[in-house]
Amino acid sequence: MSEPTPAQTGQPGETAVVDPSGARLHPLTPFVRGWGYFVVAAVALVNNEGLRQNLTFAGIGLAAVLVGGILLGALSWWFTKWQLTGDAIRVDSGFLFRRTRIIRFDRIQAIDVAQPFVARLFGMAELRMDVAGGGKSDGKLSYFTYDEAQRLRTTLLIRAKGEKAAEQQEQVQQAEAEAPPLLTVPTNRLLGATLLSSTVVGSVGALIWLIAGTMVLDFHVGLFAALPLLFGVVRPIWKQVVGNHGFTLSESSHGLRTKRGLFDVQRQTIPPGRVQGLLITEPLIWRLLGWSRVELDIAGVAGQKEDGEDDHEGAQLLPVGERSEVAYVLGRVLPGFDLARIQLHRAPERAKWLRPISWRFLTYGVDDQVMITTRGWVSRRTSIVLHHKTQSVRLEQGPIQRRLGLANVHVDTPLGPTDAIALHRDQYEAAALVQAQADRAREARRTVSASVAVQTQPNAPRPDGASSSAASPADDSSDR
Amino acid sequence: MDDLFAPSDVSWTPVSAKLAAVRRLNAAITAGVVAIAALLVLGLTLGWLYGVLAVVVIAAGLGWAWILIGRNQRSWKYAEREDELLVTHGIMFRELVVVPYGRMQFVDVTAGPLERAYGIATVELHTATPATDAKIPGLHPDEAGRLRDRLSALGQAQAWGL
């Protein structure tokens, strides 16, 4: 139980850990929290072949699981208490291993009221406190009724930032909520795009082939392969259509904001100075329709997946958009940038020994701001990296490439979807490109960062948009 | 050919030949253990002839690795440019890494027990991405310390915001 600084861990044997004062959370908490457990238990019981024949046994098992779950949940609820002290919020929890966590008000970066799907059904909400250096789950307090959570949030904000700041923030939030969106993605396009994406089309094709094969050839082993394929069909649809439902891009004082999700609304802020790179993906069928997806690398966002809630690497800028929309958002993120203006250089023809079909699509292009690489035949990926965000440049050559006189150039950016690799270039061109990229990175950095203060505090924007409450003064201001 | 992966406008520093010694020793130990295991397993199950055959194959592999390790060690070079650190290595798979000092997040100096016994250390420069592979093995501890101090000083002086 090693916790970051603001948290303190009580020892099991310590006396006076149980503070009689303090309030409990909402009594429905264990149910809202543990609904998944019950569902899983029920599904497991129903699916279990051995139990299916013996319904009474299954019933007893389910009842035992239910009672046990409720009991554990109730115990956990009973022993969890929170209270506000003079300068901190204190949460006591745990029933076998007692734990006391004290989060000082002045350490709280941002406070959010979030409503996961099930909680929303019951009109409940959880309080998420963003603590610098802490994981996402460190500052969670769930569940309250929605009103209570809002009240508590205001109280905490006032204590943490002073009354004025709290008020100001409310206003900013209100103003932002009212600002008209720059762009929304209609649900039917989202659905269509997902159905036509390479993964889904491929999986459906394979599934049909499999079913046909099973029927005709009586080859039943094939059915086992159907499961992952089915997963390949359902998962992207779920992720895209539900996760990106009502995708909205809007402008705020902290940069562009995205909002998406049907059940669990996710908000994310894209601070202008934090964009490290972009990735435009165009699956085969999308290209015919002129659709593409735009994703971003944002410093500090990718790689922060403590909760498994958000399995996106980086941020989505546009789940699916037409060419004009893509050009628009690109111009929004990189002022003065026009993808069409950059001249792309193709890889030499001898690259076809390594990439028989897709060598035609291996290109790179450079201007004074960014470098672009494209590749992929089925799914075309266009990576855009900013010169002044380049982490390192690498030149690589394998044995076959050496025989062909080819080499790869990697331009590395921090973790995220972008991977700018100029594949299979002529080796002399590649070597020159590496030098040129290093020079450009140096030049870009001199011209750009002269006006930009160095980020000293690594206050990353959170993937779940916890910074949307923006109680973080150090967060975005220094990037201007 | 070589100038592609080692541009001549900077002065390249080779790494210590002890790196090859450490790696050869490492390979020899691994090969020895595997050879004994193979000898016993094959000898007791299939017959001793197969066991001896396996040992011969492993010995041949070790001999090949012996040569490769030497070539590989000679291919490791690094250079300090005004703003960037350059590292190049590899014979079969060649690589040149250019890392601006300002991108440095932290520097690691590591030395395993074998490396310590031979008096060499590895310096690794970490940036915000794990893709950056700026690792220099086989440095004399003094040189490793100097490089570490120099890299961290330069990294601090030239730090680029993310």
The distance of B100 to chain A (nearest Cα, Å) reads: 7
Asked whether the CA dihedral A6, A12, A14, A20 is positive or negative, the reply is: positive
Pick the CATH number of B76-157 from 3.20.20.20, 3.40.50.12780, 2.40.160.40, 2.30.29.30: 2.30.29.30
Residue with the bigger pLDDT between A57 and A435: it is A435
pLDDT at A6 > cutoff 50: no
Q: How confident is the model at residue A175 (pLDDT cuts 50, 70, 90)?
A: low
- Is A160 in the same domain as A297? no
Residue A277 falls inside a structural domain? yes
* Stretch (H or E) spanning A70: helix A55-79
**pLDDT at position A168:** 67
- Distance, in Å, from the CA atom of A462 to the CA atom of A302, rounded to the nearest integer, reads 9
CB atoms within 10 A of CB A49: 6
Taking contacts as CB-CB distances below 8 angstroms, the residues of chain B near A396 are 93-96
The neighbouring-strand residues paired with B139 are B121
pLDDT at A458 > cutoff 50: no
Report residue A476 as tokens: 């975005």
Which residues of chain B fall short of a pLDDT of 50?
1
- Is A159 in the same domain as A299? no
**pLDDT at position A77:** 85
The strand order across the sheet containing A108-114 reads A108-114, A124-131, A140-145
- Is A462 in the same domain as A344? yes
Taking contacts as CB-CB distances below 8 angstroms, the residues of chain A near B134 are 392
- Is A457 in the same domain as A319? yes
Q: Each residue of A388-398: pLDDT tens digit?
A: 888 889 999 99
**pLDDT at position A170:** 65
Residue A305 falls inside a structural domain? yes
Residue with the bigger pLDDT between A37 and B9: it is B9
Q: Among A34-38, A399-403, B52-56, B147-151, which is the least confidently predicted range?
A: A34-38
* ipTM over the 0.95 cut-off: no
- Is A282 in the same domain as A146? no
The distance of B77 to chain A (nearest Cα, Å) reads: 14
- Cα angle value A49/A219/A225 (rounded, 5°): 60
Residues 128-147 in B contacting A (C-alpha not used; CB under 8 Å): 128-134
- Is A278 in the same domain as A173? no
Residue A49 falls inside a structural domain? yes
Residue with the bigger pLDDT between A107 and B153: it is B153
- Distance, in Å, from the CA atom of A30 to the CA atom of A28, rounded to the nearest integer, reads 6
DSSP state of A238: I
Residues 62-121 in B contacting A (C-alpha not used; CB under 8 Å): 83-84, 92-100, 102-103
CB within 8 A of A136, min separation 6: which ones?
A128, A304, A306, A307, A309, A462, A464, A466
| CA distances in angstroms from B31 to A235, A437, B38, B46, B64, listed in the order given | 46, 43, 10, 21, 12
pLDDT at A106 > cutoff 60: yes
The distance of B108 to chain A (nearest Cα, Å) reads: 17
Residue with the bigger pLDDT between A324 and B158: it is A324
Stretch A398-402: mean pLDDT: 92
**pLDDT at position A418:** 83
CB B161 within 8 A of CB A476: no
A427–B4 C-beta distance less than 8 A: yes
**Which residue in A has a C-alpha nearest to residue B160's C-alpha?**
A454
Q: Look at residues A127, A160, A130, A162 and name the one whose alpha carbon lies nearest to residue A146.
A: A127
Residue A28 falls inside a structural domain? yes
**pLDDT at position B86:** 92
Q: Which of A169-178, A424-433, A456-465 has the highest mean pLDDT?
A: A424-433
The distance of A153 to chain B (nearest Cα, Å) reads: 31
Taking contacts as CB-CB distances below 8 angstroms, the residues of chain B near A410 are 131
Stretch A250-258: mean pLDDT: 76
Report residue A62 as tokens: 């389910």
Tell me the pairing of strands A370-375 and A124-131.
unpaired
A449–B160 C-beta distance less than 8 A: yes
**pLDDT at position B63:** 95
Report residue A55 as tokens: 């319904």
Tokens 């250390």, located at residue = B121
**pLDDT at position A477:** 34
Taking contacts as CB-CB distances below 8 angstroms, the residues of chain B near A445 are 100, 102, 160
Chosen domain end from A119, A146, A178: A178
- Distance, in Å, from the CA atom of A29 to the CA atom of A31, rounded to the nearest integer, reads 5
Taking contacts as CB-CB distances below 8 angstroms, the residues of chain B near A455 are 161-162
Residue A100 falls inside a structural domain? yes
Collapsing DSSP to helix, strand or coil, A308 comes out as coil
CB A276 within 8 A of CB B161: no
**pLDDT at position A161:** 67
* Least CB–CB distance from B96: residue in A388, A395, A452: A395
The rounded mean pLDDT for chain A is: 74
Q: Each residue of A128-142: pLDDT tens digit?
A: 776 654 444 467 787
- Is A307 in the same domain as A430? yes
Residue A7 falls inside a structural domain? no
**pLDDT at position A50:** 56
Chosen domain end from A157, A178, A199: A178
Residue A440 falls inside a structural domain? yes
- Is A305 in the same domain as A444? yes
The distance of A313 to chain B (nearest Cα, Å) reads: 14
Amino acid at A391: Q
Residue A376 falls inside a structural domain? yes
Stretch A446-471: mean pLDDT: 43
**pLDDT at position B30:** 94
* Least CB–CB distance from A392: residue in B5, B103, B161: B103
The distance of A173 to chain B (nearest Cα, Å) reads: 27
Stretch A147-165: mean pLDDT: 77
- Is A169 in the same domain as A276? no
A390 inside 8 A of chain B by CB = yes
Chosen domain end from A127, A160, A178: A178
Q: How confident is the model at residue A307 (pLDDT cuts 50, 70, 90)?
A: very low
- Distance, in Å, from the CA atom of B98 to the CA atom of A127, rounded to the nearest integer, reads 45
* Stretch (H or E) spanning A53: helix A49-53
- Is A30 in the same domain as A140? yes
pLDDT at A369 > cutoff 50: yes
Stretch A283-309: mean pLDDT: 68
pLDDT at A442 > cutoff 60: yes
- Is A297 in the same domain as A401? yes
Taking contacts as CB-CB distances below 8 angstroms, the residues of chain B near A406 are none
Stretch A19-43: mean pLDDT: 73
pLDDT at A9 > cutoff 50: no
Taking contacts as CB-CB distances below 8 angstroms, the residues of chain B near A389 are 162
Range of the domain at A76: 23-178
Q: What is the count of structural domains for chain A? A: 2
